[in-house]
Amino acid sequence: MNKRFAFLTILLSLSLVLAACGSGGSESGSNQDCEPDSNFVKAGIVTDEGGVDDKSFNQSAWEGLQAYGDEHCLEKGEHFDYAQSNSDTEYDSNLTRLTQSDYELVFGIGYKLTEAIEKVAEQNPDTKYALVDEVAEGDNIASITFKEHQGSFLVGVAAALKTETGKVGFVGGMDSPLINKFEVGYIAGVKSIDPSIEIDVRYAETFSDAGKGRQIANSMYNSDADVIYHAAGGAGNGVFNEAKDIKNNNPDRDVWVIGVDRDQYEEGALEVDDTEYNVTLTSMVKRVDISVQDVIERTMDGEFPAGETLEYGLSDNGISAADTNEEAYTEDIKSEVEDWKEQIQNGDIDVPSTHDELDEFLENL
Amino acid sequence: MSAIIDVLQSIIPSAFLFATPLIFTALGGVFSERSGIINIGLEGLMIMGAFLGVVINLELYPILGSTLTPWVSIIIAAIIGSLFASLHAIATVTFRADQVVSGVAINFLALGIGLFMIKQLYGKGQTDMVQGMLRSTDIPILSDIPLIGPIFFENTYYTNWIAVILAFVVWYIIFKTPFGLRLRSVGEHPFAADSVGINVNRMRYIAVMLSGFFGGAGGAIFALTFAGNFYMGTINGQGFIALAAVVFGKWHPLGALGAAVFFGVAQSLSVIGGGIPLLDSIPSVYLQIAPYVLTILALVGLVGRADAPKALGTPFVKGSR
C-alpha cells in the first residue's frame, strides 16, 4: 500500500519540479567593466504563457529590457529581470512577487494580464506598472498600445501588389477587437490598391493549435488565394507549414505568407532540391522592445506616463513592415509601401481600426 | 456534381490529415485499455512524441537529409515513447496505483521533461522550425483513378495510409491472434486469464508500452505535419480527442479509426466550412461548435451503449480471490 503511493508521489512531484524548472534559466549577462547608472529604474516584466523566447511580443519585450540593461550597465536579476507565467493563474503572483522584490516599474506583457495588473496596481499604489497591448484603468498604470492597423495596412498594400490570382487571405487568432484591428487595416490596405481583390477572412479561434491554422491555410490556398496574412500566434505556424508544403511539391507555384509581431523570415525558409526558397513575403513587425525602452527612459527622467495610454505607430518606428525577403519583397513593392507609409504619417490617410470605420473607409475609396 | 467533388476535395484531405495522429494515438489507447489499464496519459505520450520527433529531426537533418529524417524521427520517437509509457505501467501494474492519477502525472511529466530539455539543449523555451517535415505527395498509380484518385490519393501523406493499414493490422492482432485473445482476456477477467497460465502483469506491461509506441508516433507525426516546432502548446488536446475516439469507437481498432476520421471531418468542416459555397451562409459559431454537438449526438444516438473492458481500471492482485 505504501509503496504504490510512494511511487506516485515521486512521479507527481518530479513532474511538478521539472515543469517549474523549465521556466527558469540561469544565463547571466553581467557587465563587469562598467558602473551601473546611478538613476537607474529597477524594472521587470511579467510574460504571459508565451515566455521570453516565444519569437513574438514577449521575446521582443525582454529584448527591450535587455537593451536597456546593456545601455545602462545593469545586471540581470539585480536591476532587471523577467517572470514567466506558465498559466493564467500565475499572473497575480508574478506581479506581486516582482512588486515585493522592490521593482519600481513592472510591465505586464499581453492583454491577458489586464485584470491582474489592475488588481495588483490598486494594492500597491507606490509601484509603477505598464501594460502592453491593452488599456488598463489605474493611476499608477501606463497602457502601451500599438497602431497595428497601420502596419497591417502596409502589408495589405504589399499583398495586393504581390497577388497574381486576385485573391488573398487573412487568418486571425481570436475574433476580438485587438485582432480585428489587424484584419481591418489589412483589408483597407488591399482595397486601396485594387478594390476588386477578394479577401478571405477566417478566424481559427485559437492562438496555439497549428492544426487548425494549417487546415484554414489549406482551404484558402486551394481556393486560389496566394497571399495569406496571419495574426494567430502559434496557430500561424500551420499557415507557414502549408505554404512550405505546397512550395515543396511545386516550386514554381507562388504562395506567400505574411508574418506578424516579429520578422518571421526564418519561419518561411525551405530547401527543395538544393535550391533555397522563402515563402515569407514580409512581416508586420511590432516593436514592443522600443516601447518598453521608451517607457523606462521616461521613468528615469521622472516622467512616467501614469494613467496615460501610449500609442506607438509608424512615426516612432513602433510598427513597420519587414523587408528581409528581398527577392519577393521587390524594390517596387518597397517604394510603393514607403509611399503609403508617408501618406499615413502625414495624415492624408486615416487607417480604420474597427469594422464600422472600415465600412466608411471603403465607401470613400 | 463537380461542385460536390470540389467540396469533397477540400474537406477530405484536410480531415484525413488531421485524423492521422489521432488514429495512431487512439490505436495505442485501444491496446492499453483492452488490457485493463486506463490511459489518460495519451496526451502526455503525444507530447513526448512531439518533443522527441522535433529534437531528433533537428539533430539528424544535417546527416540524413530531407527524405529519411522525418521517418527516422518518428520511429525513434515511438520507441522512446514506449519506454516513457513504461513509467505508467510501473505505477499502475507493479505498484497498483490509481490509473487515472498516474495518467495525469504522465501528462504533466511529459510537458515538464519536454520544456526542461528544450531549455537545456537550446537555451530557449521553444525549438526552431524543423527542416525535415513530412511532405505530401501523389501516390503513384492510385492517384490516377478518376474521382477517387484526386480526393484520396493526390497531395496526401504516406502516414495517412499507414495509419489506416495499421488500424486493420491492430484489429487482426487483437481479434485474430492468440496474443490478442490473451490481451482481451486480461482486460475482461484477469483472474480467469491467470488461472490458465497467462502472465497478467506482463501482458499489461506490453499493452501500455505499445500505447506509448503508437502515442509517440502520433505526437511526432502531428509535430512534423502541423506545428514544425516544439513549444508549450504544440500538442493541445489532441491526446484527449484520441482518448475520446477510443471510447467512441467502443475500444475497437476499426471503431477508433472511424471515430478519429469522424472528428477530422467535423473539425475540418468547422474550420474550412466558411469557404464552402453551401455552408458559408451558416453563422460560423454553429460550424465551430459542430464537432462537439456531432460527437454528443453520435454518442447518444448512433453508437449505442459503450461497453468498456470489464476489468478496466482495476489492478490485478494475484490470488486475491
- At residue B258 the predicted structure's pLDDT band, cuts being 50, 70 and 90, is very high
Spatial CB neighbours of A37, under 8 Å, sequence gap ≥ 6: A72, A73, A74
Closest residue to A267, CB basis, from B95, B129, B274: B129
- Asked if residue B320 belongs to a domain, the reply is no
Share the mean pLDDT of chain B.
89
Write down the architecture of domain A36-146+288-312 according to CATH: 3-Layer(aba) Sandwich (3.40)
Q: Give the list of residues 6+ apart from residue A315 with CB closer than 8 angstroms, or none.
A: A345
- State the complex-level ipTM: 0.85
Query: What strand order describes the sheet that includes A141-146?
Result: A80-83, A43-46, A105-109, A128-132, A141-146, A309-312
CATH architecture, domain defined by A148-285+330-363: 3-Layer(aba) Sandwich (3.40)
Contact across the interface for B231 and A16, Cβ inside 8 Å: no
Domain membership flag for residue B312: no
Q: How many CB pairs under 8 A join A and B?
A: 165
Same fold, A36-146+288-312 and A148-285+330-363: yes
Confirm whether B315 is domain-assigned: no
Region B241-262 average pLDDT: 92
* A169-182 residue pLDDT tens: 999 998 888 899 99
Dump pLDDT digits (tens) for B50-79.
Answer: 999 999 999 999 999 888 999 999 999 999
Give the CATH number of the domain where residue B194 resides: 1.10.3470
Residues of B in contact with A17 (CB under 8 A): 112
Contact B177, B239 (CB under 8 A): no
Residue B105 with chain A: CB contacts under 8 Å: 8, 11-12, 15
Closest residue in B to A22 (Cα) is: B116
Mean pLDDT in runs of 10 for chain A (365 residues)? 65 64 45 72 89 81 92 88 87 93 93 92 94 91 94 96 95 91 96 94 87 90 92 90 92 94 90 89 93 93 91 90 92 94 92 94 89
**Can you give the residue ranges of every domain in chain A?**
36-146+288-312, 148-285+330-363
How far is it, in rounded angstroms, from Cα A29 to Cα A205? 38
Does the beta-carbon distance from B232 to A51 stay under 8 Å? Answer: yes
Per-residue pLDDT of A113-154, as tens digits, reads 999 999 999 999 999 999 998 899 999 999 999 999 999 999
Contact B232, B115 (CB under 8 A): yes
Contact present, B214 and B173 (Cβ < 8 Å):
no
Residue B308 located in a structural domain: no
Interchain contact, A18 vs B112, CB within 8 Å:
yes
Residue pair B156/B149 in contact by the 8 Å Cβ criterion: no
* Interface-testing mutation among A13, A205, A209, A223, with chain B (most B C-beta atoms within 10 A): A209
Nearest CA in chain B to A86: B232
Q: Which domain holds residue B187?
A: 2-302
Contact check, Cβ <8 Å, B119/A267: no
Q: Which residue of B has its CA nearest to A56?
A: B126
Of B112, B126, B136, nearest to A54 by CB-CB distance is B126
pTM for this structure? Answer: 0.85
- How many folded domains does chain B comprise? 1
Residue where the block lists cell 500597491: A124
Question: Which candidate from A3, A11, A17 shows the least CB-CB separation from B87?
Answer: A11
A150 DSSP assignment:
H
Q: Which of B85, B83, B93 is CA-nearest to residue B29?
A: B85
SS3 category, A270: strand
